[in-house]
Amino acid sequence: MSITFADPKPLSHAELEEGTAFAPRFDASGLVTAVTTEAGSGRVLMVAHMNAEALALTLQTGEVHYWSRSRARIWKKGESSGEIQKLIEMRTDCDQDVVLLTVEQTGRGAACHTGRKSCFYRIVEVQDGTAKLTDSGEPRLFDPKAVYGA
Amino acid sequence: MSITFADPKPLSHAELEEGTAFAPRFDASGLVTAVTTEAGSGRVLMVAHMNAEALALTLQTGEVHYWSRSRARIWKKGESSGEIQKLIEMRTDCDQDVVLLTVEQTGRGAACHTGRKSCFYRIVEVQDGTAKLTDSGEPRLFDPKAVYGA
């Protein structure tokens, strides 16, 4: 089974925003933004990118695949770490350039390569006119050196 | 008061990911991705972009400002619709190219220009090998024609 998507170009504004065709508006690099949330808690775990192949693989297999911009290849989440993401639901936004994933985060429950559940473990706070980061206290669920090597 | 950010270029990988300097990694267009969630529910309301000025204005005023790519200008959320977003918290991710906002969505509670609370009102479902969209039933909280004109 190969999953096909609609081409957004011939769609009207109303068809894009209110219609039933899934017509991802890939950017110049062929990517949409993917925001991944945890089933149950709704917490935002991570933000990454998907090309058409990653979208299709995710829908076909039920396991989340992204496009790694740094490695320029398809990246099945958890392929190294074991932290597979099982797709519960995929949504798209009004202008179809973002997908919102609800996933069950398997393994130790860490979506972030630093070993934390979420990549968003630091809070931005302004101190004397400078924006600084404060650790939110998100615990590490694995040791990245042990999982990925030094 | 003008808020300053750190330059990510001289930072080590460890400083970028574990440090206290807020050093947004703006892309070639000078933008970071902003994911906006609703305080209390944690629901993802919308995804947009911020340049340095939008980030600074948001932190200075406590009201969320984005960079509108389509209009190529600073866009104070709610400036036309009245749906101002009050910033409760800002976080950044491990590699500092995304900010995660927690906001109080004022006005009628609609972050989306279609009048819905969230831009993510359609679910992607595969039917006979084609990905289709199903309306999740998110109600309209305002009539976009009445708010923005026809």
pLDDT in tens, A28-59: 999 999 999 999 999 999 999 999 999 999 99
Query: Is ipTM over 0.95?
Result: yes
**Probe site for chain B from A18, A58, A93, A97 (most B CB atoms < 10 A):** A93
DSSP state of A63: B
In order of A19, A45, B80, the CA distances from A62 in angstroms are: 24, 18, 40
Q: Which residue has the higher pLDDT, B11 or B150?
A: B11
The DSSP element (H or E) to which B16 belongs, if any, is helix B13-18
SS3 call for A54: helix
**Residue B32 within any structural domain of the chain:** yes
Q: What is the CA radius of gyration of chain B?
A: 17
SS3 call for B77: coil
Q: CA-to-CA distance for A28 and A117, rounded, in angstroms?
A: 31
DSSP string, B133-149: EEE--PPBSS-HHHHH-
Enter the pTM of the model.
Answer: 0.97
Question: What local confidence, expressed as pLDDT, does residue B150 receive?
Answer: 66
Q: Which among B17, B20, B46 is the nearest to A114, CB-wise?
A: B17
CB A32 within 8 A of CB A99: yes
**Residue A118 within any structural domain of the chain:** no
> With bands split at pLDDT 50, 70 and 90, how would you rate the model's confidence at A2?
confident
Residue A115 in this model has a pLDDT that exceeds 90: yes
Output the average pLDDT for chain B: 96
B chain contacts of residue A140, beta-carbon cutoff 8 Å: none
**Residue A128 within any structural domain of the chain:** no
Q: Name the A residues in 127-146 with CB < 8 Å from any B CB.
A: 129-134, 136
Cα–Cα nearest to A27, from B125, B27, B45, B129: B27
Average pLDDT over residues B21-25: 98
CATH code at position A75: 3.10.20.810
**Residue B145 within any structural domain of the chain:** no
CB B39 within 8 A of CB B103: yes
Cβ distance of A46 and B133 shorter than 8 Å: no
Question: What local confidence, expressed as pLDDT, does residue A1 receive?
Answer: 58
> With bands split at pLDDT 50, 70 and 90, how would you rate the model's confidence at B149?
confident
Average pLDDT over residues B3-7: 94
Residue A136 in this model has a pLDDT that exceeds 70: yes
**Residue B94 within any structural domain of the chain:** yes
Cβ distance of A90 and B129 shorter than 8 Å: no
pLDDT in tens, A54-74: 999 999 999 999 999 999 999
**Residue B147 within any structural domain of the chain:** no
**Residue B130 within any structural domain of the chain:** no
Could you give the number of structural domains in chain A?
1
Domain that includes residue A99, residue range? 13-113
Q: Which among B1, B44, B121 is the nearest to A44, CB-wise?
A: B44
Q: Find all residues with CB under 8 Å of B125, minimum gap 6, and list them.
A: B131, B132, B133, B134
**Residue B43 within any structural domain of the chain:** yes
> B25 at the A interface (CB within 8 A)?
no
pLDDT in tens, B88-105: 999 999 999 999 999 999
Average pLDDT over residues A109-119: 97
Question: What local confidence, expressed as pLDDT, does residue A11 receive?
Answer: 97
